Amino acid sequence: MSVSDELKDPWGWLVAGVSGGLGWAVMAAPLGPVAVPVGLAIGAAVLGSKVAVGAMRGGSEDDGQQRDRLPEASPNSPQGQFVQRARAAARQIHGLADRPADPGLRAEVAQVDREAGTVVAALRELAGRVTLVDSALQAADPAQVHQERQRLESLLAAETDPQMRVERQRVLDSVTARTESLARLARLREKLLTRAQTAASDLEGLAARTGELVAVGTSAYEGDPAGQILADLTMSLESVRTGLAEAEEVSRGLPGV
């Protein structure tokens, strides 16, 4: 979404309001009246962060460019299993969306339902990128490249002809650069996998908290424990979205992807 669209999104204002209110509640006792502007500052910071992240993600979707054609992750792969876990959590949330009788609570759960679908879509794309990297690493055969580097190092160490040493050094430099590139690719793959695992786990936690909120019912607006559930939902969902946006930025550092 654009910045204006993000500012119109009621979910962002809800996150900011909850965050600012919690900040005020924590600081009210030690700071007194001064806690009010502190709470407002916290809410503004949270809203600004959401707008920035949303605009960053939306810019790549609204600029008319086509999305990358990514492979579907195998269900047996780590990334594919994370997607399956996220889908199961999203289905659980979707099954709760029409349960509350209270209109306000039903609207909140429906919003979580919509956001969960967005998270699953982003996670599928992330898993596709990891799958693409897996294919690239398999084709490059890092173990074979490492062996080739060791062989060239041995040949260079035994070479006595100056001209041949120059040529062997040139080949070794090329293979070394390829080895380092593959190592960076493998490290970035691990970062993306970790992000995918975190997103799946957080979405599972979000489903559990949504079920808890629905079970509590309309008292969520009257009791502190239930109110905390709603606050946890908003903050957890925003954390998942931010983490996936950061993973998308990391994936841009993948060579050849």
29-86 confidence digits (pLDDT tens)? 444 454 445 445 544 554 455 445 454 455 444 445 566 778 889 999 999 999 999 9
pLDDT-wise least confident of 91-105, 150-164, 187-201, 233-247: 233-247
Going 71 to 72 to 76 to 77, the CA torsion angle's sign is positive
The 8 Å CB, 24+ separation contacts for 63-66 are none
The 8 Å CB, 24+ separation contacts for 23-31 are none
3-state DSSP call for residue 24? helix
pLDDT of residue 34: 43
pLDDT of residue 256: 44
* Cα 143 to Cα 9, 49, 50, 154, distances in angstroms: 49, 42, 43, 17
pLDDT of residue 66: 62
46: Cβ contacts below 8 Å, ≥ 6 apart: 15, 16, 19, 20, 238
Structure tokens at 202: 């957080």
Give yes or no for a contact between 7 and 51, defined as CB atoms under 8 angstroms apart.
yes
Domain boundaries, the chain: 1-66, 72-251
pTM for the full predicted model:
0.64
Burial class (CB in 10 A: 0-12, 13-18, 19+), 235: middle
**DSSP string across 53-83:** HHHHHHHHHHSSPPPP--PPPPTTSHHHHHH
